[in-house]
Amino acid sequence: MKAAPFDYVRADTLSHALETLNQYGGDAKLIAGGQSLVPMMAMRLARPACLIDINRLDSLKDVQLHDHEVRLGAGVRQRDLEFHPQLNSHLPLIAKGIQWVGHEQTRNRGTVGGSLVHADPSAELALAAMVLDVRLQLESTTEGVRTLQADAFFLGPMFTAVGETEALTDIIWPVWQGGRIGTAFEETAIRKGDFAMASAACQIQTTLEGSISKVSFGLGGVDGTPRVYPELAATLIGQHMSPALAQQVAHEAAQQTQPGSDMHASAAYRKHLAQALLTRALLSAYQESLHAQLPQDR
Amino acid sequence: MTQSTMTSTHTPIEKKSIQIQVNGVIQQRHVEPRTSLVDFLRDELGLTGTHVGCEHGVCGACTVMLNDEPVRACCMFAVQADEMRVTTVEGLAPERGVMTQIQDAFCEKHALQCGYCTPGMLMACHALVAHNPQPTEAQVRDAISSNICRCTGYQQIVDAVMYATQAQKA
């Protein structure tokens, strides 16, 4: 399994990368970590005429922590997020989710932006991006800069709104304000680090009395894109979480999914997993919120 | 595919000049962009210690250190490693005829049978011990979860790392 021949350009600046993308008019691909693209090229599922290497663009590696949002450059490596000293206090859901992303060897190369534009339906960062409703900033020489919300970005399996000559440059993650926030990320895979058969992520904020004031949750690996359930989440506001309630909500969410069957798991088993994992995530995020600091220590 | 269609679809691609420091030695070569790092190490430099397993990032047999961090050498192209440092299994021990404590422990504890996964396992274990000199058994299992072994059932590999790191403590 060897990649088909291609030309290689190492970009010196973002505009150099974007201009080269434009010159090839859709026949070139940006390569960052390459942990999905290189295997696809080896299997010749991808045959770009040119690879534009954006690994050395420092402008894409910025991590900016603000009180209300975290701005991550698309080229930030997954491993750098994993060991970022303050990320956990700002975005605990990412800190938990990243543990499930591939292996140390792949996280050393893989980037946040690469995972999102690859848009594997079971990708953990894509699920976290949907649950936290991130904004994604895209740039091209012809269209300039535009931003999209996560639900307008993921269009289907391995399919996003990124145009052929466009690059994802920044991901802006909202940071929930106030304390008593709990998060959970649950997943089942054949081997830790492999593709999720199903995954569930949840972030919950509770009042001092223990009722839910804000909640978002989603499922990965069981549909063409990771999905979230704003209508179901809205029914939880003002309630106290209980095992029965978590199970009921998780059941309704799992029923709405349309997972596929493959050699690893049947569609019915994936639905079952989705329900079990989401039940667990809802309960665990809720419990964590009750014991979280108020206000959160940053 | 006939010969004529093969030649008609083939466009020659210019080779790139790269310079990579491999096991402390600077190597300069001209490579096709599509040459993977692992093929470069094996075919260009003759360093066949690094093994090629699945060639799509699943088995971990090709694990090498890139600027001291473990990566899969099948999941990057050699041109991308230009101006970087690579350590392969040949570069683990300080000199010929000497082995590292973990390599010795692999022998002692029978941590290999066919040996195909061993270079990758050794790199993964050395990467673990480099930042965690006394790992727990769970941490060792987590570190080698990236690598597939079809012979040992992993137990002896875990035993070897525990043996080597606890011997260091004693």
Alpha carbon distance A41, A9 (integer Å): 16
The total of structural domains in chain A comes to: 3
Q: Quick check: is B1 in a domain?
A: no
Q: Quick check: is B6 in a domain?
A: no
Is B141 near chain A, with CB under 8 Å? no
Give the gap in angstroms from C-alpha A116 to the nearest C-alpha of chain B.
18
Q: pLDDT band for B12, please (50, 70, 90 cuts).
A: confident
* One domain, residues A25 and A133: no
Q: pLDDT band for B88, please (50, 70, 90 cuts).
A: very high
pLDDT at B11 over 90: no
How do residues A154-164 score in pLDDT, each as one tens digit?
A: 999 999 999 99
Give the rounded percent of residues in chain B with a pLDDT score beyond 70. Answer: 91
Alpha carbon distance A211, A206 (integer Å): 5
* One domain, residues B46 and B87: yes
* One domain, residues B75 and B130: no
DSSP state of A294: S
Instruction: Tokens for A45, please give them.
Output: 């599922």
pLDDT at A6 over 50: yes
* One domain, residues A118 and A217: no
pLDDT at B169 over 90: no
* One domain, residues A269 and A247: yes
Instruction: Tokens for A232, please give them.
Output: 């179901």
At A140 the pLDDT is: 97
Residue range of the domain that includes A204: 181-291
Is A42 near chain B, with CB under 8 Å? yes
How do residues A216-274 score in pLDDT, each as one tens digit?
A: 999 999 999 999 999 999 999 999 999 999 999 999 999 999 999 999 899 999 999 99
Q: Quick check: is B2 in a domain?
A: no
Q: What is the mean pLDDT of chain A?
A: 95
Alpha carbon distance A171, A160 (integer Å): 14
Q: What is the CATH classification number for the domain harbouring B114?
A: 1.10.150.120
Q: What is the CATH classification number for the domain harbouring B72?
A: 3.10.20.30
* One domain, residues B73 and B106: no
DSSP state of A287: H
Alpha carbon distance A185, A213 (integer Å): 20
Return the closest-CA partner of residue A50 out of A19, A17, A9, A16.
A9
Q: What is the CATH classification number for the domain harbouring A30?
A: 3.30.43.10
How do residues A10-43 score in pLDDT, each as one tens digit?
A: 999 999 999 999 999 989 999 999 999 999 999 9
Contacts of B87 (CB under 8 A, 6+ apart): B22, B23, B64, B65, B68, B123
Which residues in B lie closer than 8 A to residue A34 (C-beta atoms)? 75-77, 80
At B13 the pLDDT is: 84
Which residues in A lie closer than 8 A to residue B143 (C-beta atoms)? 104
* One domain, residues A64 and A46: no
Q: Quick check: is A298 in a domain?
A: no
Last residue of a domain, one of A140, A174, A208: A174
Give the gap in angstroms from C-alpha A34 to the nearest C-alpha of chain B.
7
pLDDT at B131 over 50: yes
Q: Quick check: is A1 in a domain?
A: no
Say if CB A1 and CB B56 are below 8 A apart. yes
B154: left (phi over 0), alpha (psi -120 to 50) or beta: left
At B10 the pLDDT is: 56
Contacts of A285 (CB under 8 A, 6+ apart): A182, A183, A184, A202, A203, A204, A217
Which of A6, A105, A118, A192 to mutate: most B Cβ within 10 Å?
A105
Give the gap in angstroms from C-alpha A278 to the nearest C-alpha of chain B.
24
* One domain, residues B76 and B105: no
How do residues B32-54 score in pLDDT, each as one tens digit?
A: 999 999 999 999 999 999 999 99
* One domain, residues B87 and B132: no
Return the closest-CA partner of residue A202 out of A241, A154, A238, A259.
A241
Return the closest-CA partner of residue B84 out of B50, B124, B31, B37.
B37
- Chain center to CA of A215: 17
Contacts of B93 (CB under 8 A, 6+ apart): B99, B100, B103
Q: pLDDT band for B168, please (50, 70, 90 cuts).
A: low
At B1 the pLDDT is: 40
Q: Quick check: is B129 in a domain?
A: yes
End-to-end, the C-alpha distance of chain A in Å comes to 48
Last residue of a domain, one of A120, A145, A174: A174
* One domain, residues B112 and B151: yes
Q: Quick check: is A279 in a domain?
A: yes
Longest dimension (CA), chain B: 68
Which residues in B lie closer than 8 A to residue A106 (C-beta atoms)? 57, 72, 75, 146
pLDDT at A165 over 60: yes
Give the gap in angstroms from C-alpha A52 to the nearest C-alpha of chain B.
11
Cβ distance A103 to B145 less than 8 Å, yes or no, reads yes
Cβ distance B127 to A104 less than 8 Å, yes or no, reads yes
Q: pLDDT band for B6, please (50, 70, 90 cuts).
A: very low
Q: Quick check: is B157 in a domain?
A: yes
Which residue bears the tokens 């978002």? A216
Residue range of the domain that includes B76: 13-91
* One domain, residues A62 and A150: yes
Which residues in A lie closer than 8 A to residue B13 (C-beta atoms)? 5-7
Q: Quick check: is A266 in a domain?
A: yes
Alpha carbon distance A270, B42 (integer Å): 41
The total of structural domains in chain B comes to: 2
At A297 the pLDDT is: 47
Last residue of a domain, one of B51, B68, B91: B91
Q: Quick check: is A272 in a domain?
A: yes
* One domain, residues B43 and B85: yes
Alpha carbon distance A150, A117 (integer Å): 11
How do residues A72-109 score in pLDDT, each as one tens digit?
A: 999 999 999 999 999 989 999 999 999 999 999 999 99
Q: What is the CATH classification number for the domain harbouring A77?
A: 3.30.465.10
Question: Which whole-number Å values give the CA distances from A78 to A48, A149, A226, A261, B45, in the listed order?
Answer: 25, 21, 19, 29, 30
Question: Facing residues of A111 across strands?
Answer: A77
Q: Quick check: is B7 in a domain?
A: no
- In this structure, of A44-48, A261-265, B18-22, the range with the lowest mean pLDDT score is A261-265
Instruction: Tokens for B118, please give them.
Output: 């061993």
